[in-house]
Structure 1
Amino acid sequence: MVSWSTVRSLLVFFGPLLLPRILTWIRSVRNRPKSQIKPLPLQTKYALAVLFTSALIAFISTFPIFAPANIFLQTQSRLQTSTGVLMARLAALQPLSSTDERLRVVLDSGLDARLLYLQFGPRVVTECPFVQPGDPDAARIFLFYALPSLLAPHVVHLFVLGAVTSPLLSGREAASWRTLATIAGLLLAAAEVYSLATHDSRLNARSTRWTDLAFPFWTLRVWRGMGIAGLDAVLGWVIFLQSTNRAFVAPRTPSERVAESVRALEALLGKTRGLGVVRNGTVRDRVVRGVVERYWVKEGEVMASVCEEPEVVAAQKSALARLDTVSITRDAQTFVDGVIPAQ
């Protein structure tokens, strides 16, 4: 479906974008202390729930029950099997519908129509009003006609990616992945369109058994669902790691550090004002002031008696004897020299 040269070109183009993040993640995992891990924010939980729902829907969409019927797979018939035999085998499995009758007309158009059926699916070849399956330019017209339905799941997926990486819903951590997530979503859509447009339908023309047939329309539906589910899973994983400080921890900007310091100072100022109110109330009330004064008088007496205990005196003398005043003076001088460089 996708050649190795295409994959290599994508790696060369996106490697410089992804490699620094991978190296940053490895270093952050190695050097991260356990104390930095924080609980998952509520906003991020909502974003992860949306991603999980999107991935689950994409995965369920790959189930065969949601795919259009494939007449060659249903009847286990070769591509060269006549239309009458195909319809007879299909009628033995289920009653023929109006869609099956329209498909009969398409399959009667020849081998090219059958190849286009395998490439674009039954809806495009039976409902496109702009061209007939046997026309020379049918493949290009069918591709343009199929683009809206082909891109619709990717447009919805891009909307989901934009929602879960918005700062309003997921916070700053998830928003840092918006560019990469959008690029990855666009690449999924481009890869599907490219694979369908460049598919060589003539490979099926040489198949002699039904098991050798390739079904690009049905195969791409499966890969689309798996790709969207995989992208959502990877995005949810990295958002979880970054939101809990397990990896991809980005340093805070100066404005964020200033804002945090201002909030801490405001909290300290509030506590100081509260303490001042309590102090004023204590001083102004005669009864409470007397209780406080008696407490401090009693505290002084207790501490004086404690300091006069022989054990305390001996411990103080022992501590002073072990005190290296020269080393303390030298360390203090070194600190002062480091703070105030010599002129």
Structure 2
Amino acid sequence: MVSWGTIKSVLMFFGPMLLPKAIGYYRSFRENAKKPGRPIRPVPPAVSRALGILFIIAVILLIATLPMFLEENIFTKTQSRIQIPVDVLFTRLTAIRPNGLTELDLRLREKLVSLESKLLYLKFGPDAIGNCLFCKADDRRSYYYYTMSSVLTPHVFNLAVLAAATSGMFVGEEGTMWRRFATICSVIIAVVDMSYLSEYDHKSNAKATRLEDLDMFFWRTHTYRYVVLAGLDGLIGWLLYLSSTNRAFVIPVSPAERLETATKVLDSARSKMSAAAVLLNTVNRDEGLRGKADGYWMNETRVMSEIMGEREVVDSVNNTLQSRVNMAAITSDADSYTKNMMGSFQSMEAAA
């Protein structure tokens, strides 16, 4: 197992980087939850592609944990204990192989000559024991150095996938905010994985008298490694979904963006007013259109006069004015508005 010293060292190294960032995310989440932020929107197309890539990679990582994709364990295959003589072990293996022993089997037969080599086999797997040319049973660190490449390969591959999924070039601002978090988590997982492999005591299997008591460390960590990486991809995908749809971790609207939005609204209103002025000018200049407009307003005045002259309408208006509308307040507001407007004109004349 990983020693407490290793865990403490990892926490001391990465804690100062992760803790302030976690606190900042939490505070940002609470502040944005209390105030109205940006409206919830559908997933942007770029983020949708990134989520699709992360989902596919996570599924592939989970599929890689299935027994059919794992390296073969000859002890499980032959149902043999760790103390079994090597000749008996490979005799059983030969009996269940229709085409005889493979080249890897023959190399393993030459290497698994002692209990130490069998224990190293359970820790580093068949590839390291059978194919490593510079490894020796009395130097277990040599197997560790040989295995580093195969252990780090899925970590590097997954880091590259996360880098692409959080790239500002391909995803945009929604991805860049999680780029550092994804990188730090990937590095931490890789460091913990390598530390666990380095600190694991392979001799703990020496006293196991039954197959069920053996700790198949190499195959167990392979499964854990790929499941954790798939979980990391799922976590980053979930965070991307929340932030890109403004459901959480919303980036506040900057003053520049607010100013740009207000400018666009004003430009749109000015364009509509200009169009209305052009239309009104056209109507006033055309005799036929001006006549139709005058006819409309004359008819409108006549119809409204007839309606407002009806007894029921008069009673309803009087009732509203007396009981529901504060005419004094309306008059005061109108008077204040008129004074402010006329005062601005007077100040302009005085300045001229």
Normalization by structure 1: what TM-score? 0.84
Matched, 1:103 2:103: no
Could you tell me which residue of structure 1 aligns to residue 51 of structure 2? 48
Asked which structure has the greater CA Rg, the reply is: 2
**CA deviation vs aligned residue, 1:318-338 (integer Å, no higher than 9, x gap):** 222123356678999xxxxxx
**CA deviation vs aligned residue, 1:226-274 (integer Å, no higher than 9, x gap):** 1011111122222222222222223122222223333333443444444
Q: Residue 241 of structure 1 contacts residue 247 of structure 1 at CA under 8 Å; is this kept in 2?
A: yes
**Cα drift, residue 201 of structure 1:** 0.8
Could you tell me which residue of structure 1 aligns to residue 41 of structure 2? 38
- Secondary structure class of the residue paired with 2:205: helix
Could you tell me which residue of structure 2 aligns to residue 115 of structure 1? 119
Q: Residue 46 of structure 1 contacts residue 169 of structure 1 at CA under 8 Å; is this kept in 2?
A: no
Q: Which amino acid aligns with 1:204?
A: N
Could you tell me which residue of structure 2 aligns to residue 207 of structure 1? 208
Structural mapping, 1:63-212, within 5 Å: 63-94=66-97, 95-108=100-113, 110-131=114-135, 133-134=136-137, 136-137=138-139, 139-212=140-213
Q: Residue 32 of structure 1 contacts residue 246 of structure 1 at CA under 8 Å; is this kept in 2?
A: no
- Secondary structure class of the residue paired with 2:172: helix
Count of residues in Structure 1 that have an aligned counterpart in Structure 2: 328
Q: Residue 37 of structure 2 contacts residue 252 of structure 2 at CA under 8 Å; is this kept in 1?
A: no
Q: C-alpha distance in 1, partners of 2:108/2:288?
A: 100
Percent identical among aligned pairs is: 38
Matched, 1:260 2:264: no
Structural mapping, 1:21-32, within 5 Å: 21-22=25-26, 24-25=28-29, 31=34
With over 3 angstroms needed to count, the CA separation of the structure-2 counterparts of 1:21 and 1:86, relative to structure 1, is same
CA RMSD of aligned residues (A): 3.0
Unaligned runs of 5+ in 1: 333-343
Q: Which moved more, 1:15-24 or 1:61-70?
A: 15-24
Unaligned runs of 5+ in 2: 335-352
**Cα drift, residue 112 of structure 1:** 2.0
Matched, 1:237 2:242: no
With over 3 angstroms needed to count, the CA separation of the structure-2 counterparts of 1:315 and 1:238, relative to structure 1, is same
**Cα drift, residue 33 of structure 1:** 7.5
Q: C-alpha distance in 1, partners of 2:326/2:269?
A: 37
Structural mapping, 1:274-289, within 5 Å: 274-289=275-290
Q: Residue 54 of structure 2 contacts residue 161 of structure 2 at CA under 8 Å; is this kept in 1?
A: yes
Q: Which moved more, 1:282-291 or 1:99-108?
A: 282-291
With over 3 angstroms needed to count, the CA separation of the structure-2 counterparts of 1:271 and 1:328, relative to structure 1, is closer
Could you tell me which residue of structure 2 aligns to residue 336 of structure 1? none
- Secondary structure class of the residue paired with 1:241: helix
Q: C-alpha distance in 2, partners of 1:97/1:162?
A: 40
Q: C-alpha distance in 2, partners of 1:226/1:330?
A: 72
Q: C-alpha distance in 1, partners of 2:124/2:46?
A: 41
Q: C-alpha distance in 1, partners of 2:332/2:93?
A: 97
Q: C-alpha distance in 2, partners of 1:6/1:22?
A: 28
- Secondary structure class of the residue paired with 2:171: helix
**CA deviation vs aligned residue, 1:82-130 (integer Å, no higher than 9, x gap):** 111111111122131111101111102x222222211111112222222
Could you tell me which residue of structure 1 aligns to residue 344 of structure 2? none
Q: Which moved more, 1:8-17 or 1:299-308?
A: 8-17
Q: C-alpha distance in 2, partners of 1:311/1:7?
A: 86
Q: Residue 28 of structure 2 contacts residue 249 of structure 2 at CA under 8 Å; is this kept in 1?
A: yes
**Cα drift, residue 169 of structure 1:** 3.1
Q: Residue 243 of structure 2 contacts residue 249 of structure 2 at CA under 8 Å; is this kept in 1?
A: yes
Q: C-alpha distance in 1, partners of 2:200/2:46?
A: 43
